[in-house]
Amino acid sequence: MNDALSLSKYMYETIAGGFTNQLPISSVCSARCIFCSNHMNPFPIYREGFRALDDIKKGVALLNPNAEEIRMGDSLPGRISEGEALLHPEILTVLKLVREKSPKSVIQVNTNGTMLTTEFIDSLEQFKPMRFTISYHSDNPEHWCTVFNLDMEKYKTARNCFFQLMQRAFDVQAVIVPLPNLVGYEDLENTIKNLRCYTNYVMVYPPGYSKMADSELIKTLESDPGELSLFLSRMRKKYKINLNNLSDLLMPLRFFPYDFMLRTYNGKFKNVLWMFSSAAHNRAKKILKQYGPSVPNNHYAVNVRNYTYGGNINSAGLLMVSDFDKALQKALRKYSKENIKIDLVLLPKMAFDRYGDDLTTKNYSELSKKYGMPVWLG
């Protein structure tokens, strides 16, 4: 077999992720954030270093020339460790390749901002339109240094880059990982207030921790979800800023199952079991119940706990086949005692790549083989 026909891990992930106009080029990062998932994964993930230019050219060939956005920070589905694209030694050459391929697309870069010196920003003007999504978890210098494990000089560069980018009309967004136990709500408010000068869009990701985290770290990362939700609601109104917290359990779930429920009825299934992540389960179950009387067949909901990651990880995207297996075994036993014969199982499709593999490369079809019934992704 000719080696030229084998795929790099970066190419594999791009294809497995479904050609989503991402161009990962680095799994190297200058920081060591206290919550970084790279250090808490319960199974090995790949540390691929900087992507070779020849391989990047192959990745560029897969980009859609008319894509609205090309994302250089993502490396989904998530088997390669996250890294800082701007650290790549040939970053300017890479940007040139992307710009030639997709002349009008916005080039989006996730960054901690520490590479964005004024001089470097000047060299990026030629590649506009560009969008920088900057992780900035505290505006307080000491807190910032503690969270990123970096020195004061780096803080100054990151702080200053917001103004420099805005002045040159780059698009700026921010990411906050809220750590009220470490920095306090007053600092969080001050950070949001200062970010508002440069952007009206901030993504908020409450920190996840796996079973690998020790008790000291858990104390630092934990926060009360209800308290955080109320705090963010107050901040939205006060500073007129879009603080997007997709994992806010108090928000209504964007889940509209009616068409899918009808599809299962048309497929002649009588008793359908929907498997939900712990993050979605309670809200999704209520919605299913509301639609229940509108369809002729029966629908049941089961909560799937994440035993692979443990800790507070509860989103569907990080569930593994083994987690579904445990929950399914228990649920089938329960329903069989109630004389209910489940004849179709539905799994959240965001737990799987386009091959149907989870992050450990186990395929969801294993469940269908083991339990002898159809399993669909929905």
Q: What is the dihedral of CA 30, 33, 35, 39, to 10 degrees?
A: 40
Q: How far is the CB of 157 from ligand SF4 (least distance, A)?
A: 14
Six-digit token pair at 120?
A: 């470097």
Q: How far is the CB of 135 from ligand SF4 (least distance, A)?
A: 5
Nearer to ligand SF4 (CB atom), residue 35 or residue 324? 35
SS3 204: strand
Q: What's 31's DSSP letter? A: -
Nearer to ligand SF4 (CB atom), residue 36 or residue 52? 36
Give, in degrees to the nearest 5, the angle at Cα 18 between 87 and 31: 20
Nearer to ligand SF4 (CB atom), residue 32 or residue 286? 32
Q: Whole-angstrom Cα distance, residue 184 to residue 138?
A: 10
Whether the CB-CB separation of 363 and 372 falls below 8 Å is answered with no
Amino acid residing at 171: D
Nearer to ligand SF4 (CB atom), residue 174 or residue 280? 174
Q: Whole-angstrom Cα distance, residue 62 to residue 52?
A: 16
Omega cis (within 30) before 129: yes
Q: How far is the CB of 110 from ligand SF4 (least distance, A)?
A: 8
Amino acid residing at 287: I
Nearer to ligand SF4 (CB atom), residue 40 or residue 192? 40
Q: How far is the CB of 40 from ligand SF4 (least distance, A)?
A: 10
- Residue 56 has φ and ψ, to the nearest 5°, of -60, -40
Q: How far is the CB of 73 from ligand SF4 (least distance, A)?
A: 9
SS (HEC) of 352-368 = CCCCCECCCCCECHHHH
Q: How far is the CB of 208 from ligand SF4 (least distance, A)?
A: 11
Six-digit token pair at 174?
A: 């921010």
Whether the CB-CB separation of 97 and 60 falls below 8 Å is answered with yes
Q: How far is the CB of 29 from ligand SF4 (least distance, A)?
A: 3
Nearer to ligand SF4 (CB atom), residue 161 or residue 367? 161
Six-digit token pair at 163?
A: 């103004």
Residue ranges that bind ligand SF4, judged by CB under 6 A? 29, 31-33, 36, 38, 82, 112, 135
Nearer to ligand SF4 (CB atom), residue 359 or residue 375? 359
Q: What's 134's DSSP letter? A: E
Nearer to ligand SF4 (CB atom), residue 101 or residue 137? 137
Task: Give the H or E element holding residue 30.
Answer: none
Say which residue the tokens 């026909």 belong to: 5
Q: How far is the CB of 115 from ligand SF4 (least distance, A)?
A: 11
